[in-house]
Structure formats: structure tokens, C-alpha cells
Structure 1
Amino acid sequence: MACGATRRGEAGFTLVELMVVLVILGLAAAAVVLAMPAPGGSLETEAERLAARAKAARDEAIVEARPAALAVGQGGYTLSRRTGGAWQVVAHQDWVEGTRAEAAGTFEGQTRFDATGAADPLNVTLRRGNRAVAVIIGNDGTVRVER
């Protein structure tokens, strides 16, 4: 074979093929970034988490046959249980930055679950920016999230 002659079927990629691969990688990266959740989670996720913790407190009150309480404030929420005649804090969770809570109910921002699962009604509205999600605890102990 002569020097400088090209071989037929030489291995390698053309510039067009490389550009197509880069475009596909760019589109895939953009899709991943858009699908990623917001830092700290969405407002809906925070409301669902609060509702799940309230349901767990209700279930614990029923199973252990002793009262449990959920207190909601501007900084977050606290779960407590009645032990030996006194309330004992079980867990505290701060709100994600930028979340505001407004609570309305029989007791200022607090509900208590008794051994039957019944509760003091409580409506908690979580706000972040112009969005709002409500967590509603009924007097029968049901907990639901309204968007």
C-alpha cells in the first residue's frame, strides 16, 4: 500500500456523528435536571409528611392506649405522648425554609389523639410563596391533605 493512501472502512467517527451524540447527551442532562425535585422538597411533600406523622401519632395513641399530641407552630411541629401524667416530646421537625404555617382549631395549633383515635379538630395551612396546601384533622381522627 502506498504511503498517504487512505484505507477503505477506516475506523472512527465523523464530526456529524460526534455532534449528534453531544446533542443527545445535552437533552438527557436537561431532562434529568428538570425532573429533579426542588431543594427541601415541595410544599405538597411537606404536607404529606405532616399528615403521615399525624396518622402515626393517632395510631400510636390507639395501640398504646395513651394520648398523643401534635403541636404546630411557625417554626415546625412537635409530637408528644402522655407518659406518667406528663407530656413527653417524641419528635420535632422544623419546616423547610420559606414555609409558613397557619393553624386553626379547638386549641391554638394543637390536637390531641385519645386512646380511641378521636382528636381535637385542627386545620393547618402550609404556605410557600403563592402556593398553599392544607392538612385537616377531623374530630374522628381522620387526617387528609387538600391541595
Structure 2
Amino acid sequence: MVPAELAPAQLGSRVKINDVIRPACLPEREFEYTNGDTVKVIGWGITEVGGPKSTVLNEVEIPLVSAETCAASYSRVRNFPFRDSKLPAEIICAGGTDGKDSCNGDSGGPLFFDLSRGTGLNREYLLVGIVSTGVNCGTDIPAIYTRVEDYFHWILDKLSL
């Protein structure tokens, strides 16, 4: 089953690359990363629990969190789908510490590595996750992201590439 966060779209015109709109590479195979590696998430979501949606696009660096640590965090969350069970392989956990996290309104946004090759509009990014869900933004429970690499072939098929 493909998660709701993945939805191919065909645009009616070319996209102009600028400071806000940038392309990102898709991971063709399992991408090697470790607990604590720094990734970035961007979005228009709220910046504090109960607050309004942002009027500016926000970007924050957050650490990846191991499946074990993530599962332990969610074991404390009442009525959460992954409580007391192993996390599905199709997810990545990140953030949740030091007030840095994705939050309500960020769903569907990118979780990516900044590969730091090039400058300005020539920078390279690797999309590794899509904002899915979380609880209590930035309060010691990591957010959950859909792992993009697990859907690489589905994405190519839908885009007819």
C-alpha cells in the first residue's frame, strides 16, 4: 500500500527553479545513514503547538533517530498506532529535540540531505522522507516520515520514467 503522502502530479508548465523551489534527487537504493545524521525539513506548518500556520517557509536541521529510539519514544504515547510494536520499515524518524521538528501543516513536505555540492541554485539535495505524522512538535518525540527509497520504483512507474 502506498501512503497518502505520495502523490505524483503532472504540471501544466515548466517549473522555474528559485530560492524556494528546488529539485531533489531520489534515492535509487538504500541510502546509508546513521542515527544522528543531520537532515533538513522545510514547511509552512505551525512553529509552536497551538499556534497559527507560518506565513514564511521555514527550514530546520534535525537529527535522524534510530528505529529503536523512535519505537521507545512512541511506546509512551497513548493510542498511537505504533505503540508496543515494531515500527514499519517504510518510515524514518527524525527531530523532536530542542524544539526542532516538523509540525502541523508540514505534512507532505520534504525531509532531505543537503549534499552541499555546488552553491546557490546549483546545490544538490537528496529526498529521503516525506513528513507524515508526529505528536507534540519538538518535545522529545521524533516525527515520522515516509521513507522515499522504499517507493522509488513506484514513483518511476507513475512518472513513466
Instruction: Flag whether TM exceeds 0.5 (same fold).
Output: no
Normalized per residue, the structure richer in helix is 1
Normalized per residue, the structure richer in strand is 1
Query: Which entry has the higher C-alpha Rg, 1 or 2?
Result: 1
The two structures have a TM-score, normalised by structure 1, of 0.22
The two structures have a TM-score, normalised by structure 2, of 0.21
